[in-house]
Chains A and B, each alone.
Chain A
Amino acid sequence: MSTRQGMSLIVKTVTNIIVGFIFIYGVYIILHGHLTPGGGFAGGVIIAGAFILRFLAFGSGAKSEKKSLNTASMFESAGGILFIGIAILGLLLAGTFFLNFLPKGTPFYLLSAGIIPLCNIAISIKVGAGLFSIFLALAAMKYVMED
């Protein structure tokens, strides 16, 4: 990897330190979505922001961009299928689309609220990968223009 790619050394060092914390914060927002403000959508966007920060600071070539775009699209579809899968599972197990079929648990505990945490995780994968693939598609436009 050449050092000329991406931004300056200062930006790269700061990004290296901070990007993991942003990612962990996004995961926290998702997993506590049924207890505190936040949830799948906000957490997914924060995770996409971590990826975009890394991408902007370090840069990448046309080939790896294409590969990342394919991976992000795949993750987005997987998140959508997971979300609908949870809904259809409710239909199969108890006869209602989107039924909260899991046990409710004790309120204010991490493992509570039935399917709501699972739905949050599915939505976060979908939203995060979707926004990142929009960003990648816009960034890959540069190479299309150059051809």
Chain B
Amino acid sequence: MIELYLFLVFTIIAAIVATEIKDLLAAVISLGAVGFSVAIIFVLIQAPDLAIVQIVIEVLTIVIFVAVILRTTHIDETIGKKLSGTHIFSIVLYAVFALLFLIVIFRSFQEMPDFGNPIMRVASEYIRLGLPQTGGANIVADVILDFRALDTLGEATVLFTAVIGVVALMRKSGRKK
């Protein structure tokens, strides 16, 4: 399990670098490091389906980010400036709420079951009935396309709405000259 913790720490460090670095291209590369180490973590906790999706989505987002940055600007001008009063106030407020959240979550984490033992019984039912009832060997496909296909329909609708939103925002016709 030591490699899992290694990658978790690496993910956190890369995320901090991505927010704090001044060159935006370097920040995007750091964000890519976050995404790929999350993909490796998915492999380590035995979720290859998620790892495949994570890798391809990460590549796509990095390509889009790099294309945008190459056409606009490299430098993040907000980093390194002197903090104003409202900035310091919001940082303090954030720290207080984060501390409260950690105190509350610490108690509930102690009551969580061990890794690999889900709280809900429905998971073991899916594993038991997956192959005999649907005939699909990949249990993930059985769940998302047979037992819970309606959820997948909702997910597809979300993606459809996102595409409609982007195409409508970026359209040429109807734009005011």
Contact of B56 among A35, A46, A143 (CB under 8 A): A46
Q: Closest B-chain residue to A40, C-beta based?
A: B145
Measured CA separation A98–B134 after assembly (Å): 12
Interface of A is mostly: helix
Which residues of chain A come closer than 8 Å to B160, judged between CB atoms? 76, 80, 126, 130
B103 at the A interface (CB under 8 A): no
A3 at the B interface (CB under 8 A): no
* B58, chain A: closest CB distance, angstroms: 10
A56 at the B interface (CB under 8 A): yes
Q: Closest A-chain residue to B155, C-beta based?
A: A41
B159 near A113 (CB under 8 angstroms)?
no
Number of chain A residues close to chain B: CB under 8 A: 57
* B177, chain A: closest CB distance, angstroms: 8
Which residues of chain B come closer than 8 Å to A108, judged between CB atoms? 137
A21 at the B interface (CB under 8 A): no
Interface of B is mostly: helix
A114 near B135 (CB under 8 angstroms)?
yes
* A62, chain B: closest CB distance, angstroms: 9
Which residues of chain B come closer than 8 Å to A83, judged between CB atoms? 153, 156
Known: A56-B63, A116-B136, A126-B159. A137 touches B170 (CB 8 A): yes
Known: A83-B153, A116-B134, A119-B149. A33 touches B141 (CB 8 A): yes
B87 at the A interface (CB under 8 A): no
* A-B residue pairs in contact (CB < 8 Å), sample of 23: A34-B142, A34-B145, A37-B49, A37-B140, A39-B141, A39-B145, A66-B172, A98-B150, A100-B134, A107-B136, A112-B135, A113-B135, A113-B141, A115-B146, A116-B136, A116-B146, A119-B152, A120-B141, A133-B163, A137-B169, A138-B166, A144-B170, A144-B172
Interface residues of B (CB under 8 A from A): 48-49, 51-53, 56-57, 59-60, 63-64, 67-68, 71, 131, 134-138, 140-142, 144-146, 149-150, 152-153, 156, 159-160, 162-163, 166-167, 169-172, 175
